[in-house]
Structure 1
Amino acid sequence: MTNTTDGPRRSPVRRTAVALAGAAALAGLAGVYAPSPAYAGPHAAATDFSDCPALPAGVDPARWRCEVHTAAPLLTIGRVTVTLAPITMTHAEGPMPDGTAGQVWGAMHSTPTAVPGGLTGRAADDHGRRRLAIRPEYGGRSDFYTGRLSLRFRLLSPLLPKACTVGASTPVDFQLKRSGPSEWISQDPPLIRFSAYDDTFTAPAAEDCGPLTAPVNRRLGLPAASGNLMAYDATYTFRTYDQLPRS
């Protein structure tokens, strides 16, 4: 995932992680998962690997790992800034039979985050029928070796249709870049912290919001070609497929 530079230089765990994820010198994303800040030390052993995807045919399970990461990103999209509720993502990566780098998407889980000011921008509308929340959803594209990830952002309110989404037709594409070295919190089980960001992405307009589509976009300042930010502080853990519990 990330090109980790911390931790004991001779650690077998570290050598394995770097060997499998060295190509991800990206922004620190080629494997990002683990339950939020409290997720450290012995808690890492309780990571849920149930979303680990099936491996491609012919690969060596001992050389493929399932990575689980969690982040609570700071998101500025248009004129709104929120710290998103934790996102957990799972994917697998490792060498293909021909030696090329492979990866398989697993799953993403997230919950809504309230947008201060609701649909109007007034504090009085933080609650009630004019409240507004945003929930990130997987946008169908990911490359954890290079830090590329696409997301959609569902807009939730009693006054909006369920389909109301930023990036409904064209997902928001992120190219995450590392903002510092990774840090090994634990070697056994492995738990690694990293930070990444993207301040160059374009935020499209919200779509499928019914009669409120135009007011919602005015409220959020969308579409926005610049001034957007995803600051992505995360932790992740992993297991090779030969170490996963048998179902």
Structure 2
Amino acid sequence: MSHTTADHRRPALVRRAAVSVAGAAALATVAGAYSPSHAYAEPTAADQPLTDFSDCPALPAGADPARWRCEVHTAAPLLTMGKVTVTLAPITMTHAEGPLPDGTNGQVWGAMHSTPTAVAGGFPAAVGEHVRLRGLAIQPEYGGRSDFYTGRFSLRFRLLSPLLAPNCPIGANAPIDFQLKRSGPSQWVSQDPPLIKFSAYDDTFSAPAAEHCGPLAKVLNQRLGLPAASGNLMTYDAAYTFKTYDQLPAR
């Protein structure tokens, strides 16, 4: 899933920001303000260690390792989507950014890691004449689009339950696009190694219905309140670190 500015999905966005502005730093300072206290999720992702650079992607041909940096950030988002509110287990994203040989800016996607989070209340569903309560979990997955200069990225949310088909995502055909806005100033926790905390949010995205979930799909979407065109919110407490490629171990 690696891409550079040659990727047809977002070529203009990748070239838009100035070289001197790091992508995650730009995400941490995008314009906007948000005052309600629930913009700040608990626990904060700054409590998570950021030391693993193993997902740093290969650089584009001709890129200068001293001018490209690999950024690793971890967030514990608070997600309200339809009728469900859940604090997701921490997710980690890795990407690289820097100037391309022609002088324009580039980004290369690395990887995203996440784990399932239980949804309170589970999934009550009728089985014969009885209603059974089964576990329900949600797991974010990379949606194939990202621009860390502008704070835009896409996610799918896989739903997991013994009552559902194994491939049951929200955003199956069209992932959910998030446009994060700042909800507070960024904070340097450490200079060496660099560690920066920030908080952001998006309350403008639409949430589609879950798809490919089997015969209980209609009941599931009623339980989740999906699709939901409005009333959704993701708050994004995060921390990130970085190294230039000349500081990374040789592969």
| TM-score where L is the length of structure 1 | 0.82
Structure 2: which amino acid aligns with 1:99?
G
Please give the alpha-carbon distance, in whole angstroms, between the structure 1 residues aligned to 2:87 and 2:158: 15
Partner of 2:134: 130
Q: CA deviation at 1:101?
A: 1.2
Q: CA deviation at 1:180?
A: 1.5
Q: Identify the match of residue 232 of structure 2 among 216, 225, 228.
A: 228
Q: Does residue 197 in structure 1 map to residue 201 in structure 2?
A: yes
Please give the alpha-carbon distance, in whole angstroms, between the structure 2 residues aligned to 1:162 and 1:79: 22
Q: Does residue 102 in structure 1 map to residue 106 in structure 2?
A: yes
Q: Identify the match of residue 181 of structure 1 among 185, 188, 193.
A: 185
| TM-score where L is the length of structure 2 | 0.81
Q: Does residue 246 in structure 1 map to residue 247 in structure 2?
A: no
Please give the alpha-carbon distance, in whole angstroms, between the structure 2 residues aligned to 1:106 and 1:20: 19
Instruction: Give a deviation string over 1:8-59, Cα, whole Å, max 9, x none.
Output: xxxxxxxxxx934279634558xxxxx93334xxx55xx1100000001111
Percent same amino acid at aligned positions? 78
Partner of 1:36: 45
- Kept after mapping to 2: 8 A contact 1:85/1:112: yes
- Kept after mapping to 1: 8 A contact 2:23/2:148: no
Partner of 2:26: 25
Structure 1: which amino acid aligns with 2:177?
D
Identify unmatched segments of 5+ residues in structure 2: 1-18, 31-43, 126-131
Please give the alpha-carbon distance, in whole angstroms, between the structure 1 residues aligned to 2:61 and 2:54: 20
Structure 1: which amino acid aligns with 2:225?
G
- Kept after mapping to 1: 8 A contact 2:71/2:243: yes
Please give the alpha-carbon distance, in whole angstroms, between the structure 1 residues aligned to 2:110 and 2:52: 12
Alignment of 1:1-247 (within 5 A): 19-21=20-22, 25-28=26-29, 36-39=45-48, 44=50, 47-120=51-124, 130-247=134-251
Identify unmatched segments of 5+ residues in structure 1: 1-17, 30-34, 122-127
- Kept after mapping to 1: 8 A contact 2:72/2:242: yes
May I ask how many residue pairs the two structures share in their alignment?
A: 214
Structure 1: which amino acid aligns with 2:203?
D
